A and B are shown apart, each in its own frame.
Chain A
Amino acid sequence: MAGRSDYQIPEKPRPKPEIQVRPDEHMTIMTRNTSLIDLCEANDPLAWTEFLHRYGEMLVSFARQVGLSDREASDVAKATILAFGDALRDHNDIAEQSRVRIKQLLRDIARKRVLAVSRHDSSDGSSSARVWIGQAHIGNSVREEAMFDLEWQRACLRRAMDMVRAEVGDQTMSAFEQYVLRRQPVGEVAQDLNTTPTEVYVAKTRVLRRIQASLVVIQAEE
């Protein structure tokens, strides 16, 4: 795991806060980014849980996209989030700015972490061919930014799906996932779910319309 030298500050004793939530518990409220950062800044455990849910996977995916291994990608995501937490805590100006540009801050930190891991691999000779290929992208800011943007968009889609999942019934969501995402024939989906093809078509239309509406809300935050 790469060090966290970018945002180190002198240690001082702090009271250890109690964790009020299970580690795997996902905050069901769909907080706006700005409010989420306010709550993280206030050290709200639920807000940090939601932050991890919202950005953890996309950071892992970004690190994988540029060619890091599973373990390295997981470590980069972890280091990025910890560094973001430090930046939020230590620099009031960054905390203020982060309300409008979380994406840019996360991207900058993640790119530094990726670079640190790739340099470490190169220096100890442990680079695999896959990582070496990935390094063609590392340090290429245009390519990295495009990859980060793609993963950010996918994270927005997943968040929109989460929002819709909370709004519609299980049957509707299952019909959508089987018919649209897994491309199962409509008749087969209807039979699986003990419903009619019409209901499956309607599920697709309704879920897509809701995803679109959710994306408008999510994109308006950025």
Chain B
Amino acid sequence: MSECASSFQMMSFARGDLGRSATQAIDAHIETCQTCAAAIAESDVHERLVEALRESEASRCDNENAVAMFEAARAAILAALLDRS
């Protein structure tokens, strides 16, 4: 695909709604077209997923110390699980 896709096609691409050949064409096109690459990346198609990912990362930071304590005990937990079986 040498020409830019329509907005509808680009949003369908972002949602994963296009067929294989159309997907491949846009995938190749955005490697060289910053306008289309930006339009798709900046669209709100994945907004909820992005927010969920950010919240998940924030939660990971909040619980860093507790998780580190668990990780420190992981070898002992694994040994206990195997020992009990």
| Chain A interface residues toward B at CB < 8 A | 14, 16-17, 19, 23-24, 43, 45, 48-49, 52, 56-57, 60-61, 63-64, 69-71, 73-74, 77-78, 81-82, 85-86, 89, 151, 153-154, 157-158, 161, 180-181, 186, 196-202, 204-206, 208-209, 211-213
Interface residues in B40-85 by Cβ distance below 8 A to A read 40-42, 46, 49-50, 52-57, 59-60, 62-63, 65-67, 69-71, 73-75, 77-85
**CB within 8 Å of A: which residues of B?**
14, 16, 27, 30-34, 37-38, 40-42, 46, 49-50, 52-57, 59-60, 62-63, 65-67, 69-71, 73-75, 77-85
Contact yes or no, A52 B53, CB < 8 A: no
Partner of B73, one of A78, A200, A213: A78
Contact residue among B14, B69, B81 (Cβ-Cβ distance under 8 Å from A70): B69
Measured in the bound complex, the distance between the Cα atoms of B60 and A131 in whole Å is: 20
Closest 5 CB pairs of A and B: A23-B75, A201-B37, A201-B41, A74-B69, A70-B66
User: Across the interface, which residues of A come within 8 angstroms of B71, CB to CB?
Assistant: 24, 56
* Cross-chain contact B73 with A209 (CB below 8 angstroms): no
In the complex, which residue of chain B has the Cβ closest to the Cβ of A42? B85
Contact B83 A17 (CB under 8 A): yes
Cα of A54 to Cα of B27 in the assembled complex, Å: 32
- Name the CB-closest residue of B to A216: B16
Looking at the assembled complex, report how far the CB atom of B74 sits from the nearest CB atom of chain A, in whole angstroms: 5
Main secondary structure of the interface of B (DSSP, over half): helix
Evaluate contact between A89 and B84: CB separation under 8 angstroms: yes
Query: A-side binding surface: helix, strand, loop or mixed?
Result: helix
Task: Tell me whether B78 and A49 are in contact (CB under 8 A).
Answer: yes
- Whole-angstrom CA separation of A204 from B20 in the bound complex: 20
Q: Quick one: closest A residue to B55, CB to CB?
A: A154
Which residue on B lies nearest to A18, using beta carbons? B82
| Listed residue (B14, B31, B53) with the most chain A CB atoms within 10 angstroms of its CB | B53
Assuming the A-B contacts A64-B66, A201-B38, A205-B41, are A45 and B50 also in contact, with contact meaning beta carbons closer than 8 angstroms in the complex? no
Q: Are A56 and B74 in contact (CB under 8 A)?
A: yes
Shortest CB-to-CB span from A29 to chain B, Å, is 17
CB within 8 Å for A45 and B66 given contacts A201-B40, A201-B41, A205-B37:
no
- Please name the residue on chain A nearest to B85 by beta carbon: A43
One of B37, B49, B60 near A208 (C-beta < 8 A): B49
| A85 x B53 contact (CB < 8 A) | no
